[in-house]
Structure 1
């Protein structure tokens, strides 16, 4: 149930029967040959597909996150950690004031992990509201499925290459890229990160079959849905 497809009166009516909401967290950053919006596309889609049979409200994706290391790649947008924490906190404040009491932050970007701490801290100041943080792509069952298919999986590699994150008429190389030295990469400034990564793929194949990707997606949707269903306490 997309909040974007509702008016305020419908939301008011929804809150009479349910107090759950899902807020997808994304990012706008380089993903090699894939869309710059990969993290936002995936977090919003998995949230919507998971919530739809339950009739739970899903808010629009927060499409900007924390990604300073990719700033040498044009199109990347990064928020300061303090800005991001304030935005997440303000969103939670708004949902609480409306009447939502069970909120799932469905995250699609590793750099957004501070949002989990924000949620825990925010709950301390707002008793009676439960905030869950869910990294959909590395949740236990989903990540196990990824590893079952191919253990060499990383940022901007095949594991993020779904039919809905590809760009028309653009395909990555037909090779398995060696894994980058991620420890070294983390010591670099943005220009240095680009020097280490080149096209942006951390390592691995650029694409696998649609059947493989659908198998992962089915697990991810089911795992996310189980969290939305609860129990919440």
Structure 2
């Protein structure tokens, strides 16, 4: 009898009761009572994907939303984090004139982001991680507002532009640089959902290298693929490279988040 009791106790420790496991990490799918059971006592980190709608060469206009959303889903368990609904509209900038693009002004975007971050803090999240899928002026706004909220409300914020942070992974996997809708971003989308990639529509004239700073500026940008280096970044990857890239990017971003939280905790912030 004693042996049976010990075995039962060990099994409870090794395999927690189902009621102790969260049913979903998505904020818009969880019930409010279950949310209260886990946040903030057991989960105090939130992943907020942000993006926009704009042209992306031969992948979907919402690639800037698809990428950080999938990234959040892939790493939420590892980080013990919840996932906030993706902010699908953003500050599109020089590609706003293309079909299907959508532009939110900075004057509208900044207070909207501010209220969302305040809401996440109010709901008990201590670590607010913004997985940003779109650069340009949107990055500066996110960094400014996130910094202000951290200082005002005593929370901790981290804004990550995944493609920039993982630029070394691009070079490692593809042996060349990428670009907006270049091989790096296109490969990442390929790994998420191959039906969103239309290589049959690809034409080399769809790509233009970004101008060197201070040389010239064209609005709208003349191509839907912007290469970081002339002659590099064309979407000529294979399936295995796409999967490798997705996994290595996510691993690097997750490591940054874990290390940042560890150092916040170590400093008692």
Q: TM-score, normalised by structure 1?
A: 0.86
CA distance in 1, matches of 2:54, 2:203: 23
Unaligned runs of 5+ in 2: 1-24, 228-232, 265-269
CA distance in 2, matches of 1:174, 1:74: 18
Contact in 2 for aligned 1:27/1:40 (Cα 8 Å):
yes
The residue that corresponds to 2:16 in the other structure is none
CA distance in 2, matches of 1:178, 1:18: 43
RMSD: 2.3
CA distance 1:131–1:62, change in 2 (3 Å)? same
Contact in 1 for aligned 2:90/2:109 (Cα 8 Å):
yes
Contact in 2 for aligned 1:44/1:61 (Cα 8 Å):
yes
CA distance in 2, matches of 1:22, 1:232: 18
The residue that corresponds to 1:151 in the other structure is 176
1:218 aligns with 2:242: no
1:24 aligns with 2:60: no
Higher-RCO chain (CA-CA 8 Å, sequence separation at least 6): 1
Q: CA deviation at 1:44?
A: 0.8
The residue that corresponds to 2:149 in the other structure is 122
The residue that corresponds to 1:68 in the other structure is 93
Q: TM-score, normalised by structure 2?
A: 0.76
Contact in 2 for aligned 1:85/1:115 (Cα 8 Å):
yes
The residue that corresponds to 1:84 in the other structure is 109
Q: CA deviation at 1:180?
A: 2.5
Task: Report how many residues are paired.
Answer: 224
The residue that corresponds to 2:158 in the other structure is 132
Which shows bigger deviation, 180-189 or 117-126? 180-189
